[in-house]
Structure 1
Amino acid sequence: MAVDGKKRQMPPGLMKIKELNKENLKTCGLQLICHVTQEFKKEQNKLRTYVTEILHSIFFLAIIHKDRLTPEDILSAQTEIVRQEFPEPFRNYKSHLPKRTPFSILLDIMQLTFGTKENIMKELCSLMKKLKFPYPLHKPANKNQRYYTLESTVICVCSNSLNTSQEYFGASLGCRTENAKSIMIYSSCINTWHEYVSYAVMSFEHQTEGDSLQFHESMQCQAYIRDWKDNIYKERQPCMNCTRLFSLPKGTEQEHYPYGNCAETECLSKLLFNDQFMLENIKIRNYTTDKMNMLKHRTRERLLGKLASIPSLSNLNKDDLWFNT
């Protein structure tokens, strides 16, 4: 709002937080890129796809950030070195949607490297301490001080108790702005998650009462939140959104997030992609192909609307956007 024809200026405290968030995103992006490229040098054949994907995701989230950060802003003097090794993300970050957030991709790398849940969580805490990402949630004394980092505060592990040898990991979205969060949820519904998980998320997004999934009783699912002070992962109950989406027990009211934000969504999607028994024994309320197509159409329209509202994507041709069919 203007006062006497002048634009109201942002209070100095908020200006400082805004600048810190910009620098945090740049710093966290660079640190994460440096880490995965160093790991790539050790295991090139295994990790090239993951590094390409994580670069793409970081570049996309940076360009849709309100400060419109480019790869050059993040990488600075290292830009050409990274571009020569991984040219694809530089070509595609403004025309192709990423499938996942950076932390989700990092979690896959950790699983490939360390294997078991215990080792993954231990090494992930060690890595977060090494990277020195700032605390991503509200500081107790200042509700505006919500630092933008690329860390997901919650991860989730699920499995089929009839087949305990395989665990599936997921991460919460870790996007600190409403636009980025919505874009990644809508894109994941269309491009990434198993269609049954996507159906449940979209039905709750577009209907007064959504259609939930009911997994076989042998499904086990446990979320963990990183205790930033002690730097360990501790068990966390599912939120009410996940209880409604996936018929999970012991839901608890927590800070409001949109349907699809939580780590349960990704790991349960992986479970359905990889476990035929779970896929064959799942129950879905009111699912039909026609309804699924309708929900995907509505979600795609919302996604395109979000993308059209972002100035840094003003020259984007929506026909160039990558959508799975």
Structure 2
Amino acid sequence: MVNFVEANTRQVQIFAKSETQFFYKFLHFIATSVRERRLNGDRGRAYIKEECKTHLPTRPPYTVLLDAIVEIKGTRNAEDVLRCLLDLTDKMDVTNDEGKQCGNVLVSTVISCCNFNDVTTNYFGASVSCMGWKQRKAMINILCCKTWHKDISWAVCVGNTYNEKAFTFPAGVCSMAFNIYSSAKATEQKQRIERAKARLQRFQMIRSRNIANILEPFGTLVPREPCKYCFIMFPDICFDPSSHSHNAGKWEYGNCAECESLSQLLYSDENIVQRLKRETFTKTPEVLLNEKYNQLKEYLEKLNFNFGNRILYYNNQA
């Protein structure tokens, strides 16, 4: 019991430190961008204000940071955006009570970018970064019910229910994914990173290797194959690197960064949406999303979140 309490206390301390460090660096980044007139003041305030106790966030903090970087940098060039993201991530490391750097629990483990016939116009996403499996499942349900493009939400629901794809993308959609490590985490995971890079040597990944090498001084981005679930949901996408031998992990449909980046892509181009070839299932998209909504309410009750008669989502435009 003592060991459990001590371990739990350390975990809580690391989470508290992570939260403080994350928001301090995030606020500094936003404030500096506003001061240098790279970001409008109203947009800056929209990124930093919150109503945590009564309104649900509609995306994880790291995804908000990623979106802010794209707006502030004014580009969708993968090298520029990922360089800035990795630089900020490197500054968010926290130390445990033994003085050892241990990363930041609010930082996602995987970053994804995708494009449609244009490698200079990328759309970015991060894996769901939440502490605790209940929180993670609740956030995936929120993303499906409120945030993601309806077709990506449907793809996640179909994957969960039928273990099949919901639709086919038109030819020309490409996606890259990376494990992201700060300098401290890269040092800690050095052997694992070298094994991963060696394993990927046999794949053709010219673009992803170039990005990883350019960003090396700031930390490490390691090209990563999509998981089994991504191949099931999006089998027609050109993944770089690509390997069908990648096994499913302990996560679930919707946890991966690819869902967020592909949602951004669909929001950006109605032409792609119109060209999706949708499959037919017994349960309609409305029924599947309603099941997700009911699951969300169940997880919120388990987390003692006070939502009253109906769920209220945070609106950064209000």
> When the two structures are superposed, what TM-score results if normalisation uses the length of structure 2?
0.75
Counterpart in 2 of 1:82?
none
Counterpart in 1 of 2:143?
188
Counterpart in 2 of 1:130?
91
Counterpart in 2 of 1:36?
26
Q: Distance in 1 between matches of 2:221 and 2:104?
A: 20
Aligned residues: CA RMSD: 2.6
Say whether 1:260 aligns with 2:254: yes
From 160, 164, 181, the counterpart of 2:116: 160
From 104, 112, 137, the counterpart of 2:63: 104
Say whether 1:229 aligns with 2:220: no
Q: Unpaired runs of 5+ in structure 1?
A: 1-9, 56-85, 136-145
* Matched letter for residue 130 of structure 1: K
1:129-150 deviation per Cα after TM superposition (whole angstroms, max 9, x unaligned): 2221469xxxxxxxxxx98710
Q: Distance in 2 between matches of 1:323 and 1:124?
A: 24
**Structure 1 175/30 Cα, relative in aligned 2: closer, same or farther at 3 Å?**
same
Q: Unpaired runs of 5+ in structure 2?
A: 97-101, 188-218
Q: CA deviation at 1:210?
A: 3.3
Q: Secondary structure at the match of 1:184?
A: helix
Q: Distance in 2 between matches of 1:36 and 1:51?
A: 12
Say whether 1:275 aligns with 2:269: yes
* Matched letter for residue 309 of structure 2: K
Q: Distance in 2 between matches of 1:47 and 1:103?
A: 21
**Structure 1 274/134 Cα, relative in aligned 2: closer, same or farther at 3 Å?**
farther
Counterpart in 2 of 1:6?
none
Counterpart in 2 of 1:142?
none
Q: CA deviation at 1:40?
A: 2.8
Q: Distance in 1 between matches of 2:124 and 2:152?
A: 15
Q: Secondary structure at the match of 1:94?
A: coil
Give matches, 1:47-58, under 5 Å.
Answer: 48-49=42-43, 52-53=46-47
* Matched letter for residue 186 of structure 2: K
Structure with higher RCO (Cα < 8 A, 6+ apart) = 2
Residue-pair matches, total: 264
From 53, 60, 65, the counterpart of 1:94: 53
Matched-pair identity in %: 24
**Structure 1 159/47 Cα, relative in aligned 2: closer, same or farther at 3 Å?**
farther
Q: Distance in 1 between matches of 2:311 and 2:258?
A: 31
Q: CA deviation at 1:194?
A: 0.5
Q: CA deviation at 1:272?
A: 0.6
**Structure 1 33/48 Cα, relative in aligned 2: closer, same or farther at 3 Å?**
farther
Q: CA deviation at 1:49?
A: 4.2
